Structure 1
Amino acid sequence: MGIPRTWGGVLGGLSAFCAIAQAQTSTPSPTSSASAQFTVPAEANFAPAVIPNIKDPQAVDAQTVCPGYTASNVQQTSSGFTASLALAGNSCNVYGTDIDALSLTVEYQREDRLHVSIVPTHIGAENATHYIIPPGYLAEAEVEESNVVSGLEFSWTNDPSFGFEVTRKSTKDVLFSTKGTKLVFENQFVEFKSSLPENYNLYGLGESIHGFKLGNNYTKTFYAADAGATVDINVYGAHPFYLETRYFTEGADGKLTLVTSDETSPNSNYTSLSHGVFSRNAHGQDILMQEDSITYRALGGSIDLYFFPGPSQPEVTKSYLTTVGLPAMQQYWTFGFHQCRWGYKSWAELEDVVNNYTHFEIPMETIWTDIDWMLRYRDFENDPEGFDDESSKGFIQRLHDSGRHYVPIIDSAIYIPNPEDLEDAYPVFERGNEAGAFLTNPDGSIYVGAVWPGYTVFPDWLAEGTEQWWIDEMVRYHQTTGYDGAWIDMSEISSFCVGSCGSNNLTLQPVHVPFALPGEPGNPVLIYPEGFNKTNATEAAFASSARASWSSAYPTTSATSSASYVRTTPTPGVRDVNYPPYAINNVKGPLAVAAISPNATHADGTLEYDMHNLWGHGILKATYNALSAISPDARPFILGRSTFAGSGSYAAHWGGDNWSNWPSMIFSIPQALSMSLLGIPMFGADTCGFADNTDMELCNRWMQLSAFFPFYRNHNIIGAISQEAYRWSSVIDASKTAMAIRYQLLPYMYTLFYHAHTKAETVMRALAWEFPHDPSLANADRQFMLGPSIMVIPVLEQGATSVNGVFPGLIEGEEVWYDWYNNTAIPVPSQANTTIPAPLGHIPVYARGGSVLPLQQAALTTRDARNSPWDILVALAKDGSATGKLYLDDGVSVTPDATLHAEFKVENRKLETIIEHGGWVEENSLRNVTIWGVEKTKSPIKFNGKVVSAKNVHFNGDKHTLVVSLSSASAWTGKGWSLEW
């Protein structure tokens, strides 16, 4: 939860940096007539503007003025070679001080991974962090010792200056080439450039609110920002990895020809080859995707590249995730439905929400609290007004007894008390300060920004005592309030003022943030989605009247743009971290606006400039260890906002502060697919929208869409209308319809996550990944696959009663798709883009032919669903075959004592299972086996070789559906079972 769009008049246009420790001398301004609380002035987050280099007409192109490097002194190693790089001419010092001597290391680390590293030859302890990520902060890739047979080949040249190429051995296809361009390596600017084919298909480079395919006229900026989920800006996380897919036609001679046109022929045979590139650089940077190239421009760090040859997306993903860390395995309950909002005022109100879900028979697993639970927005202290310690115990006990869970928000900033007010004491801060756990200013004084509680300090994840202090605080709070997971917010890390604005102002504590909170004078009325009046005429008229009334009472002013910008000139040997000479395209402008200042200092001397994009990863690791300390045997459940490559090993992620409108719902799909590719499969959006008001139709469609995302949560802002699923009768019905399918599919979803955790497989999948021989799917992001077997085609437009969808392989006769609701194969359409009826309350869902899906019964909680009978659904492929898998354990343990693996295989009208017992005893009975696509049956039908009574066999010849009722309690106890028909 960050700064909603409706507060943009205060924070949206900020672009500034002030001096560290600047005193605020504004007259204290009350937040209401009943309060004289000092408000941090809005100017605290203002400073001189910058113009991004990519938009600056005066910007110098480093490629035209810098000399590049020359390679020499090549030395063979057991895994590759090393070389020296020397500046090939006079220094250019275009955006920093040139590094004269560099060291190149090329390592064939594994068959599926090539590592290329370029660092300054002389890295002293005092400046090592300028270029390399501190050891142990991120996962270190395991390396095979020697004699690796790689699928990639590295070559280099000094003509006209040093450049290199990475080539796929099998096809001689050049995957990455800097030849013909200049390598620029300065103390505040690193640039290298690779050519790309025409109309390239590039994916990843998260986190972005953007189409799934990134396109060739787009700049991706990496600088973690509390910016709201807005299209085409830098937002919460940084994942500098991309997947590129190239399509080829194959001639009669077997030669592959690259397809460079968007126009493809349905009668041609295509093949695709994918590869991946990971740049392990955490500094602020722009990545420019241009017509025929990709250019990296970083504010520091080294060149630390990993290449993955694939040649398929699953193989690339596996190579990447085994490098940065496999996704965390989630507890079973986390796949239930979650309810949250900013504005729940008490344990009693939370219990009312839970009871209402039960009353309306809508599944609801977990209730969440936003910052309302905190005393004055301070971490680890319950507000005695509504969230008192004693009442929490009974509430959480009743919640747990019903099979449900509770997760609170935990913010990243820590309140610093007023030193002159003994009643303002805050032991959490005192213990952290004693442990040396907080960032400092360059002069050694504590760095004090401003967040929800007022003036705040920020944990330093490089300080020796910080993590243990954080663990202790979370353990201590758990003893008061027995929460079940942690929601980490504001971790970019966000600050509502520039620099250490509170250093000279602590005697004013507690202070108010520099903008009006919802419900306070000056905060605008929230708006409804576009088109709201079409389906909500009465409510729309009221909203329009209310907004007109507000506008007359609180006239707004728009921010004016400045014609003058700060441009800094490099000083030899000096780094200007507050205003680096190269200005990245940061949404907030200067790096210090709405974030910790770049010159905030870590315990080892590292500046925040070098660690900014890694701060959120550090708090996720510490929180993971804290939850492990609380429940050593249980898998931690963490929802984090700011992430980096590898953060999926610790946490889930949500899409951040989106809007209650149709575009936000649309963009949630490519965002989810991107995060799946980047190793954070437990992803979901704030369903029905966070900021502004939702409406019935939008919430109806969105509740159904999110039912097929791995993480499923409804969450919205204080001051907006309530949007729990039971607020509209149509949303109740729509939610229950979609949730019934989701809860049936929980065993399938849980198995997908087990394979993600152990094999680096994806959970939500793009059609382009599942059907890699169809170039027309390269940009498909309005429908998606859940695993290999379920396809979802949601309605994403207001007022629509139908939706256009694609059924891959159907026209060619390669695939069969079954409508989930009527259990029959859909007819072959006359064209690929098919119109599907989808009245309000209906989300089209399809099962892919060739799938075996283990199902359980829908229930109000995952606990009850998990204790229900089993159904096996078989969706036959065109040739009558099908396969599937199932993984079971206790759903909680880090290392389960007992497991069960089942494989399902159908051939020649016989379903066989192979069960491997790892000690797990499945006590729920096998109720039914349903088979779709059955043309005929033979008599008698046999289960484990024994005849099934005719009264338990139901065959519908018109729908080609066979249902066999078994009620077998022993089906899971043996080595397997079979069904013949």
Structure 2
Amino acid sequence: MSAPGPGVQAVSAGEGISILDEAVDKSKFKTCSQLSFYRRQKQLLPGKSLYRARLDSFTLHNGIAKLQIVHEENKVPLLVEIYGIVGNILRLRINELSPLKPRYEVPDVSVTEPALHRLTVIQEEADVIVLGCDQGDHRVHVAASPFQIDVLSKEDTVLRINSLGLLYFEHLQPPPKESRTQTEEKSDASSISSETGEEDLGFWKEQFGNFIDYKASGPSSVGLDFSLHGYEHVYGLPERTEPLQLQSTSGSDAYRLYNLDVFGYELQNKRGLYGLVPLLLAHKPERTIGVFWLNASETLVELSTKPAFIEAATDMTKKRVVPETDVRWMSEGGIIDVFLLLGPSPFDVFRQYTQLTGTQCLPPLFSLGYHQCRWNYEDEKDVKAVDAGFDDHDIPYDVIWLDIEHTEGKRYFTWDKEKFPSPKKMQESLRSKKRKLVVISDPHIKIDPEYPLYSQAKERGYFVKNRQGEDFVGICWPDSSCYLDFTNPEVRHWYSDQFTFSTYRGSTDILFVWNDMNEPSVFNGPELTMPKDTVHYGGWEHRDLHNLYGFYQQMASAEGIIQRSGGIERPFVLTRSFFAGSQRYGAVWTGDNKAEWGYLKISIPMLLTISIAGISFCGADVGGFTGNPDPELLVRWYQAGAYQPFFRGHAIMDSKRREPWLFGAENTRIIREAIRERYALLPYWYLLFYRAHVSAEPVMRPLWVEFPRQLETFGIEDEYMLGNALLVHPVTAPEVTSIDVLVPGPDEIWYNFHTFERFVGVSTLKVPVTLDSIPVFQRGGTVVPLKTAVGKSTEWMKGISYELRIALDSKGSAAGELYTDDGQSFQYLHEDQFLYRKFTFHKNILSSSCADEKGRYRTECVVERILILGVRKQPASITTIESGRKDRKVTFVYNPRTCVLTVEKLSLGLSADWKIHVM
């Protein structure tokens, strides 16, 4: 939910407030050229760096290398620190040697202080120092004049730092003496204007429209360039509406990393959206690397790919062009703190990044089901009717959501007494259906002395301050509001306490949380957000930590749900604004999309980009938030959403009602089947989230991640892998009758997931589609666990038996896993209450064995059915062998047309070791 849209009552007076239509109002947002720190940095052109290293200052203590560098003109020294980190990671920090005052360093994103590998000096000369690491295959060359760092692996250059000479560091300065009164400043502000809506007012303030940004520390931006040798395919930098593969910024705006409430956001635009992760990945067949720029201030990224030079090949008669991608990072404040993730495989990079920022939290099982949301379900009667509608139409769902209208005058943690007079009774009704409720809780707090949340926060000084030291006041949904300072640990603890049942009256343990508008959104603020000169805990300006604000609210919300349960239950918290590390606290979504085909199509690269940046639990509003989807678009969106990690239907308040059964019987049937297919696959979804949790493997992943040496996969963004087993190609255009699907090979075997048709040695399939089908393929050599039936919600399905769908590879083998636990508590973590099984099919024997001996979870569930795809001839007999039970022959059905062997009525214990012999 975003700034006011059509049919929404405009928020009353406040500078900059207007009713927005569904197109983004570009005048409210800056272009890169309107950022003074960007203009200053762009004056530094590529060339020989003006920084040189003082190698005589070099020290190596506890394996950490330190040296000073100095700018030849201003002579101010900087301190360079180089760390070798366990897991093939390098860290580079650059800060002022003696700053006037501390510069902001991002806290709380790293899960722990990284364990170090010792660096050693391999070579030391007058103009270069070569460092090695006691583990890993890389070396670090530090050149003195000009200052440059090269990272090599087995003598091949991986990347070069400052090779373009774009290291930039603005030193903190004392403020100038005030020569004018505030009245004169205000008078000047009202008279200054420009065609661009912005004017640079010197180093200490700048203007955008009618807003003046006063900079307490003056200019303090930093920048650095990286040349990625041999790489032309680069990815990452979510959240954006451009292709999966990052595009050259030559001749266009840079990628802007600045969390903003961009209602009606445009497609194919580099403007920052609601959340971001400052992580870039570069990939080539031989290696994947990552650059993680840990800075929470506004950041711009420029990149260009070019042939770097000609290298002689082994055969001296041949030569090859080696590409190179140059990346320039520019941040408004803070220090340079960058982690180089050296791979070498894609999964190594994912592990390295989450080693620093944490893995995806294991969500409660219910949250992987279908969610039904609208701005707003009107009252308790409406909630009851919608809930009953799912049962009446035999459509499973798990969660119904309430937007801001459920509160008393948009006061969070309250209920509208007329519309929701009995919230506990409403929740108990949902509980009886084994379903949950999610309610919204935004960071702006209505100014109302009678509102306990406001009065307590006001009394304790918990709000963000303006530059004069008073509580900052902005306009959002409740009109005049103050904004909680979530950067303050005390505020986060207090906010978490608001979720206790005694404080949050009318809440129960089936109520979970949605954090919206937390960029933060300020309707009358510059770029519809908080002014950069507001002040947070510790005296830090908002400019230093803007991109962390939503991260901190989600952290506090997740902690609140956990504390509410006495530390027992896993939380579910959805956030719109996010940063590196947000994966530890819940889910994210792509914000206020539109009911248009282009937004369905762009959702795939958007979600893939978020996924490879560590946040697996992500999704896009099914049907589009604004507008009214036609039936075909809605059906296709449900089919896509069913195969994406976070699955929620959502709509703006002035859209037509669009519950799944309102578009005719045939469309209801197709949507029902899409949702039921999601529920049948819940065992596989849960396994993938467990793998993301323990091993940092993205749930939804680009093809190149699974097939890193196949060049044809590098630019594919309309299809993707779920785990290593399923390839999905949603239909994202109207009236489609066939789709060309790339199936990586040539040694792979693929099976149509619905018809079981087998494909060998092909690269592209032309797949016919009807309205009730989308292409989904299972990879040969994999095992996918499913449920044999579907219930009304995830909780209804706990006792339903399992099916194993086994797809044989060219050697007649397959392997897969299954993970289960109670689906809601932390006992899997603290008391080993989990079950992790491994299945292998080899030489006509299917084996079930324990994948983790620590697991002690017991379940009465059984494996009831097995489908083996790719069986070339009918077996003579099938025998099951299970410990503690007599061997027994079982009946089976073999289909020679599809080559599918079906074995049913097995009743094999899920936690038992057993074998099935196919004779």
CA offset digits 1:889-946 (Å, max 9, x no partner): 1011123342111101111111011034722222123211111100124422111186
Provide Cα deviations, 1:305-352, integer angstroms capped at 9, x if missing partner. 111111111111011111111111100111110000103110110111
How far apart are residue 861 of structure 1 and its match? 0.8
CA shift for structure 1 position 975: 3.2
SS of match in other structure, 1:730: helix
Residue by residue, what CA displacement relative to the aligned partner does 1:73-114 show, whole Å, maximum 9, x if unpaired? 1112232411011111247xxxxxxxx121001111224111
Within the candidate set 180, 191, 201, 2:233 is matched to 201
Deviation of 1:370 after TM superposition, in Å, equals: 1.2
Q: 1:117 pairs with 79, 86, 93, which one?
A: 93
1:837-882 C-alpha deviation (Å, 9 max, x unpaired)? 1111211211111111221122221112222111111111111000
- Pairing 1:366–2:404 present: no
Which residue of 455, 465, 477 corresponds with 1:452? 477
The residue aligned with 1:318 is 351
- Equivalent residue in structure 1 for 2:597, among 662, 665, 687: 662
Q: Work out the CA distance in 1 between the residues paired with 2:506 and 2:64.
A: 56
Q: Does the 8 A contact of 2:834 with 2:856 survive in 1?
A: yes
Over 3 Å counting, the alpha-carbon distance change for 1:51 and 1:404 in structure 2 is: closer
Aligned position for 1:301: 334
1:177 alignment partner in structure 2: 161
**CA deviations over 1:136-155 (Å, ceiling 9, x no partner):** 46534421364631332221
Cα deviations by residue, 1:713-744 (Å, 9 ceiling, x for unpaired): 00010111112211113332222222232212
1:797 and 2:733 are equivalent in the alignment? yes
Task: Give, in angstroms, the shift of residue 371 of structure 1.
Answer: 1.2
1:980 aligns with 2:918: yes
Q: Secondary structure at the match of 1:275?
A: strand
8 Å Cα contact 1:163/1:182 also seen in 2: no
Structure 1 194/430 Cα, relative in aligned 2: closer, same or farther at 3 Å?
A: same
Contact 1:440–1:446, Cα closer than 8 Å, also in 2 = yes
- Cα 1:215/1:340, change in 2 over 3 Å: same
- 2:114 paired residue among 136, 142, 148: 142
Residues 231 and 282, structure 2, Cα contact 8 Å, conserved in 1: no
Whole-angstrom distance in 1 between the partners of 2:387 and 2:104 = 50
Post-superposition offset of 1:654: 0.7
Equivalent residue number for residue 869 of structure 2: 932
| Counterpart Cα distance in 1 of 2:367 and 2:438 | 11
Amino acid at match of 1:919: R
Which one of 615, 621, 633 corresponds to residue 686 of structure 1? Answer: 621
- Equivalent residues of 1:819, 1:847 under 8 A apart: yes
In the alignment, what sits opposite 1:222?
257
Distance 2:868 2:83 in 1: 51
Distance 2:29 2:739 in 1: 45
Task: State how far apart, in whole Å, the 1-side matches of 2:35 and 2:221 are.
Answer: 17
The one-letter code of the counterpart of 1:838 is V
Q: What is residue 276 of structure 1 aligned with on the other side?
A: 290
Give 2:203's aligned residue. none
TM-score in terms of structure 2 length: 0.84
Instruction: Report the alpha carbon displacement of residue 824 of structure 1 after superposing the two structures with TM.
Output: 2.7
Establish whether residue 826 from structure 1 lines up as the match of residue 759 from structure 2. Answer: yes
Question: Following the alignment from structure 1 to structure 2, what is the Cα–Cα distance between the partners of residues 941 and 824?
Answer: 23
- Partner secondary structure for residue 382 of structure 1: coil
Following superposition, the deviation at residue 131 of structure 1 comes to: 3.6
Aligned-residue offset at 1:473: 1.8
2:317 match = none
SS in 1 for 2:156: coil
Stretch of structure 1 that moved more, 913-922 or 763-772: 913-922
- Are 2:349 and 1:335 equivalent residues in the alignment? no
| Number of residue pairs the alignment of both structures matches | 809
User: Shift of the alpha carbon at 1:804?
Assistant: 1.6
Amino acid at match of 2:44: A
After superposition, the Cα gap between the structure-2 partners of 1:805 and 1:654, relative to the gap in structure 1 and judged at 3 Å, is same
The one-letter amino acid paired with 1:245 is H
CA distance in 2, matches of 1:978, 1:627: 44
Counterpart of 2:353, as a letter, is: Y
2:544 aligns with 610
Alignment of 1:620-631 (within 5 A): 620-631=554-565
1:761 corresponds, among 673, 693, 697, to 697
1:466 partner SS:
helix
Match of 1:414 among 417, 435, 445: 445
Shift of 1:6: 5.3
Distance 1:3 1:371 in 2: 13
d(CA) in 2 for partners of 1:49 and 1:935? 61
For residue 713 of structure 1, the aligned residue among 630, 648, 656 is: 648
Q: What is the aligned partner in structure 1 of residue 81 from structure 2?
A: 105
Q: Which residue does the alignment assign to 2:52?
A: 70
Distance 1:238 1:440 in 2: 25
The match for 1:549 is none
Q: Secondary structure at the match of 2:667?
A: helix
Q: Would you say 1:164 and 2:149 are equivalent positions?
A: yes
Query: Which among 885, 898, 908 is matched to residue 959 of structure 1?
Result: 898
Aligned partners of 2:341 and 2:353 also within 8 Å: yes
Q: 1:377-396, aligned counterparts within 5 Å?
A: 377-388=410-421, 391-396=422-427
Change (3 A) 1:780 1:49: closer
Is 1:795–1:843's contact at 8 Å kept on the other side of the alignment? yes
Q: Tell me what 2:204 maps to.
A: none
3-state DSSP of counterpart to 1:593 = helix
Task: Write the letter of the residue equivalent to 2:702.
Answer: A
CA distance in 2, matches of 1:145, 1:183: 26
Asked whether the equivalents of residues 198 and 291 of structure 1 are also in contact (C-alpha less than 8 Å), the reply is no
Q: Provide the rounded CA distance (Å) in 2 between the counterparts of 1:309 and 1:51.
A: 33
CA distance in 2, matches of 1:753, 1:918: 17
Please state whether the residue corresponding to 2:709 is helix, strand or coil.
coil
Q: Does 1:212 align with 2:244?
A: yes
- 709-718 vs 50-59, which deviates more? 50-59
Counterpart of 1:3, as a letter, is A
Which residue in the other structure is 2:533 paired with? Answer: 599
Q: Which amino acid in structure 1 is aligned with residue 863 of structure 2?
A: L
The residue identity in structure 2 corresponding to 1:835 is K
- Give the corresponding residue for 2:812: 880
Q: Is the 8 A contact 2:46 2:164 kept in 1?
A: no
User: For residues 748 and 362 of structure 2, what CA distance do their matches in structure 1 show?
Assistant: 31
Q: Per the alignment, in what secondary structure is the counterpart of residue 669 of structure 1? A: helix
C-alpha deviation, 1:463, in angstroms: 3.2
> Could you tell me which residue of structure 2 aligns to residue 864 of structure 1?
796
Could you tell me which amino acid in structure 1 is paired with residue 483 of structure 2?
F
1:400 aligns with 2:431: yes
Query: Contact conserved, 2:157 with 2:229, CA < 8 A, in 1?
Result: no
* Aligned mate of 2:580, from 645, 648, 656: 645
Structure 2 contact 622–637 (Cα < 8 Å) conserved: yes
Deviations 1:422-459 (A, max 9, x none): xxx21110111122211111222111111000100011
For residues 739 and 327 of structure 1, the distance between their equivalents in structure 2, rounded to whole angstroms, comes to: 24
The equivalent residue for 1:244 is: 282
Query: Is the CA contact (8 Å cut-off) linking 1:199 and 1:216 kept in structure 2?
Result: no
- Distance in 2, matches of 1:354 and 1:948, equals 45
Q: Which amino acid aligns with 1:431?
A: Q
Residue in 2 aligned with 1:253? Answer: none
Q: State the TM-score, normalized to the length of structure 1.
A: 0.79
The correspondence for 1:235, drawn from 256, 266, 273, is 273
The Cα offsets for residues 494-517 of structure 1, whole Å up to 9 and x where unpaired, read as 10113xxxxxxxxxxxxxxxxxxx
Residue type of the partner of 1:149? Q
CA distance in 1, matches of 2:864, 2:582: 40
Structure 1 residue aligned with 2:523, among 496, 499, 509? 496
Once the two structures are superposed, the pairs formed by residues 810-821 of structure 1 within 5 Å of their partners are: 812=746, 814-821=747-754
* Pair 1:899 & 2:834 matched: yes
Alignment-derived partner of residue 96 in structure 1: none
The answer to which structure has the higher strand fraction is 2
TM-aligned CA distance change 1:789 to 1:245, over 3 Å: same
Identify which of structures 1 and 2 has the higher relative contact order when contacts are C-alpha pairs closer than 8 Å and 6+ apart: 1
Task: Return the offset for 1:182.
Answer: 3.5
Change (3 A) 1:62 1:41: closer
1:51 to partner: Cα distance: 5.6
Q: Hey, what's the Cα distance between the residues in 1 that align with 2:17 and 2:654?
A: 26
